[in-house]
Structure 1
């Protein structure tokens, strides 16, 4: 799942009263629902339960996000609402659990190299 929809990032924070610092974090974002066409019946499934389990495993909150995507950049802009669930692990101690998890269950894409960095 992380190979497709997750990322490892670093935020650089310039403090006013203290020196700059780097904050590494792990993020996984998935749309809220997916549709499966089975025997000409559209079935909606929700990612809520699996994303809740992931958030619980890393002991973080599960966020629900809504945003407008601009599909056509023109005079008559077309927008589509996009709903997603998001898990963010940014706490240093919780990132240790992320490291332990991905050391045990390796990523299969080039994100493995990002993880190693």
Structure 2
């Protein structure tokens, strides 16, 4: 029986284990196109209105207290932080040399890393 590797395997030349980051580089032009597409889509405004309603409900729930409400608020704040970081990188990348959005092996980074070039 012969060992058959998948078509998209990565051959490592080092003897140590290492993390392979996956991700995408967006050029300055691509970042600008993403910003323009988001700005002119009516779905963007519908999504923002929906997010405002959901945020309002969550804030009311958190104000009623409890440990579950605290944990929900903490989790949602981390997700909002990461979404904001990605949006910042795409917007700032449209003004500079683009941005990198990649998968990150560290759980405290919520497994996503976004940096501007």
Q: Same fold (TM over 0.5)?
A: no
The structure having more radius of gyration, on CA atoms, is 2
Higher helix share: 2
Structure with larger RCO (C-alpha < 8 A, sep 6+): 2
Task: Give the TM bin, normalised by the shorter chain.
Answer: under 0.3
Query: What's the TM-score once normalised by structure 1's chain length?
Result: 0.26
Query: What's the TM-score once normalised by structure 2's chain length?
Result: 0.26
